[in-house]
């Protein structure tokens, strides 16, 4: 009866003809020696779309040297440091009757462009292809306490997790210290003026998956630990995403994905092209896999039962015949022994 009640999974391969869809990337990665203040998540695809320093649906959790979560301190209004008025682009401090327009420190694309936050200054430098070497002179970063936060979190780790929504085309996303910018066809990092000769990007992939979970799915990178042994290093994961549709016994469909992966590590002594960080390059398979749960028909169940019963009867008949003829042979020998 259990054979009839249990569902069987049928596999089918078809060409993936879907268009205009998005791809959901679920990630949960722990860096044991990289502070949250310097960790940045960027994503880009072959269509040219870029998402830099992604924050939507992406969360960061500070970790101490033992890997335990650190509660973010609550601001203390009494002991908080006095914040100066913002520095205007023309050089003076912001007055009450003025509109704030901060300096981009030489990276403005036009005369009327304003950079009113540390992030906007960094973005202006990135667009120019410049590295922000001396962050100490940036008024916006001073007022926002960015430099102090970086110093305070030195030696900590970071757990970055959440969901990333991207176009369903080949692309990549990476987690690295600083902000990526391009110069002379090379990808470099704006390391936020951090005075460090090395970055330890050792990490644990707690989870990496594409799309919703379905029964029996195995994510090959889950629980993988990578320990950096060099001063700097770049981890690269090359992923082949296979679109998958899982249909359960009730007919409910789950459109999701599976993937396979290969890994590559490049040590920091291979030249300036080695950007410290963890890079995930993904490509999509043109073949879709369909898993369908089905229960055997009653006729198939009845045929199976009859085959089992018939097999048992046949085996029992053979055993019975063997015992019967064996018993007769022994009995006959015993009778011959009495009359001899």
Q: Structural domain boundaries of the chain?
A: 2-70+146-294, 81-144, 297-339
Tell me what pLDDT residue 108 has.
86
CA–CA gap between residue 220 and residue 210 (Å, rounded): 12
The 3-state secondary structure of 211-237, one letter per residue: ECCCCCCCCCCCCEEECCCCCCEEEEE
What is the secondary structure of 176-190 as a DSSP string? EESEEEEETTEEEEE
Which SS3 state, helix, strand or coil, does residue 85 take? coil
Note the pLDDT tens digit of each residue in 130-146. Answer: 766 677 778 888 787 77
Name the CATH topology of 2-70+146-294.
Answer: Acid-sensing ion channels like fold (2.60.470)
| pLDDT class of 7 with cuts at 50, 70, 90 | low
Return the pLDDT at 53: 79
Rg, C-alpha atoms of the chain = 33
321 has a pLDDT exceeding 60 = yes
Supply φ then ψ for residue 20, to 5 degrees.
Answer: 70, 20
pTM: 0.72
pLDDT at 283: 95
Please report, for residues 79, 96, 140, the alpha-carbon distance to residue 85 in angstroms, rounded to integers and kept in the order given.
Answer: 18, 10, 10
Q: 295, 8 in Cβ contact below 8 A?
A: yes
pLDDT tens for 29-45 read 999 988 888 888 989 99
pLDDT of residue 127 exceeding 60, the answer is yes
- Strands (E) in 200-320, as ranges, are 203-210, 224-226, 233-247, 253-267, 277-284, 287-294
216 pLDDT tier (thresholds 50, 70, 90): confident
Q: Which residue has the tokens 């880009």?
A: 44
Identify the DSSP state of 130: -
């Amino acid at each position: 009866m259990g054979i009839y009640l249990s569902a069987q999974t049928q596999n089918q391969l078809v060409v993936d003809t879907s268009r205009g869809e998005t791809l959901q990337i679920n990630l949960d990665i722990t860096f044991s020696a990289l502070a949250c203040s310097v960790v940045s998540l960027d994503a880009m695809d072959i269509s040219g779309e870029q998402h830099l320093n992604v924050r939507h649906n992406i969360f960061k959790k500070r970790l101490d040297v033992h890997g335990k979560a650190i509660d973010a301190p609550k601001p203390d209004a009494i002991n908080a440091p006095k914040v100066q008025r913002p520095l205007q682009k023309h050089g003076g401090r912001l007055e009450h009757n003025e509109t704030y327009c901060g300096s981009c420190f030489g990276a403005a694309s036009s005369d009327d462009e304003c950079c009113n936050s540390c992030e906007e200054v960094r973005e202006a430098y990135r667009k120019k292809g410049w590295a922000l070497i001396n962050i100490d002179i940036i008024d916006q970063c001073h007022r926002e306490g960015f430099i102090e936060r970086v110093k305070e979190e030195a030696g900590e780790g970071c757990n970055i997790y959440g969901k990333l929504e991207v176009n369903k085309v080949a692309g990549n996303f990476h987690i690295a210290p600083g902000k990526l910018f391009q110069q002379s066809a090379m990808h470099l990092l704006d390391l936020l003026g951090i005075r460090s000769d090395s970055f330890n990007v050792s990490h644990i992939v707690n989870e990496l998956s594409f799309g919703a979970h379905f029964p029996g799915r195995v994510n090959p990178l889950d629980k993988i630990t990578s320990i950096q042994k060099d001063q700097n290093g770049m981890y690269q994961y090359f992923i082949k995403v296979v679109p998958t549709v899982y249909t359960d016994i009730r007919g409910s469909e789950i459109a999701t994905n599976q993937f396979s992966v290969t890994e590559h590590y490049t040590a920091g002594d291979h030249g300036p092209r080695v950007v410290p960080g963890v890079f995930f390059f993904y490509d999509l398979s043109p073949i879709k896999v369909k898993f369908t749960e089905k229960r055997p028909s009653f006729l198939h169940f009845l045929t199976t039962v009859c085959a089992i019963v018939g097999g048992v009867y046949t085996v029992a008949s053979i055993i019975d015949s063997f015992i019967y003829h064996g018993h007769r042979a022994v009995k006959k020998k015993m009778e011959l022994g009495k009359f001899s």
